[in-house]
Every structure is written in structure tokens, then in C-alpha cells.
Amino acid sequence: MPQSLFSLAEDIRRCTACPLWKGRILPVPGEGFADAPIMVIGEAPGEQEDREGLPFVGRGGQFFMDLLESINVKRSDLFITNSVKCRPPKNRTPTMKECGECNDLWLQKQITLLNPKLIILVGGVAVRTCLGKGSVGKLHGTVITKEGRKYFVMYHPAAALRFPTIRKIMEKDLVTLKKVVGEI
């Protein structure tokens, strides 16, 4: 039987491949329907995500989901996950080594199984994990096609919550995202 996103999540919950597992309360494999047309890939679980085992449920995550709701994209339209599945100590940025290992072991399999029409990359870590290079500063608000997959790049919600100028840019990018979603 081919592996499902559900059974893959079970494997992720048992993962001890890199040291991040030692600091986690709960691993956060991802959440969503197997036929979701849109995938959201963020950076890493934060404190609340680590407690609940669910992605994008903390302050930043909620803020991002509210932004998507404002363009009529609902949590139920999405499969949401992160570049790494375990919370880094003190919410530090995951290293590219950690992201690379987690990508090879889990994220690429999730993308293949879901086969989404669009992948929203949230923040620089997700951009570098999935595209290999590039900065959000240059790529935000644009669609990038790589190896047959369509990506839309957005700033990380933590940056928008901290800097009003980034928030304004994000609101503008949402207008573009609404158009892109309407075309998939």
C-alpha cells in the first residue's frame, strides 16, 4: 500500500534523526487534508505549536491564518507544515543542516504525497529549504516555478508583527496571492 500523509505523520512523530527531538514536547508533522490544494511551509514550531503538536497555532501562526482568511483562504483549504518538525531550543532559527535533513527525510515526501497546486513559503528559512537559495526580501509577492512546482513567497509573520513596514508589504502581497489562488 502506498504511504499516506497520515502514516508519514506517524513516522515523523517517532523521528530522532537530528538533535532537535531532544528538546521537543510534541513533534509537529503538519495539519490538513490529503487533497488540500494549497500547502503552507513555515519555519519551525514555536512554543505553542510544540505544546499542541499543531502548526501555526501560536500568535504569529494565528496572525498568518487571519491574513489568509481575509482573502478567503481557510485553514480547511490548506495543508500546513514547517521546514523542521521539532521546536528548536529557545525558538532559535533552525540551521540549514537541520532543515536539509528534515527536508530530505520528511518535507519532500509530504510535498510528493500532497501534490499541491500551490506552495506558500513563509519566511526565509522555508525559501532556502525549498528553493535552495534566495531571500524573502527579493522574492516576496512573486510566484516561482521550480521543477514543475509553483511557489509563492511571503514574509514570516513574526517579522510583520515586529515591523509595521513589513506588515504593509505583506498586505500588498496578499492582494497578489488572492489573484494567484484564484487561478489555480
Residues near ligand URA (CB under 6 A) are: 42-43, 45-46, 49, 55-56, 58, 60-61, 82, 122-123, 157
Q: Where are the alpha helices (DSSP H) in 2-77?
A: 5-13, 47-52, 59-70
Q: How far apart are CA 155 and CA 137, in angstroms?
A: 8
Q: Which is nearer to ligand URA, 31 or 169 (CB)?
A: 31
**Length of the chain counted residue by residue:** 184
Q: Which is nearer to ligand URA, 43 or 98 (CB)?
A: 43
Question: Measured at CB, which residue is nearest to ligand URA?
Answer: 42
Nearest distance from residue 181's CB to ligand URA, in Å?
Answer: 20
For 105, the enclosing helix (H) or strand (E) is none
Q: Which is nearer to ligand URA, 29 or 60 (CB)?
A: 60
Q: Which is nearer to ligand URA, 18 or 40 (CB)?
A: 40
- Comparing CA positions, the residue from 86, 149, 87 lying closest to residue 121 is 149
Q: Is 164 buried (19+), middle (13-18) or exposed (0-12) by CB count in 10 A?
A: exposed
Nearest distance from residue 60's CB to ligand URA, in Å?
Answer: 4
- Work out the widest C-alpha separation in the chain, in whole angstroms: 49
Indicate the residue type of 104. Answer: D
Nearest distance from residue 81's CB to ligand URA, in Å?
Answer: 8
Nearest distance from residue 2's CB to ligand URA, in Å?
Answer: 27
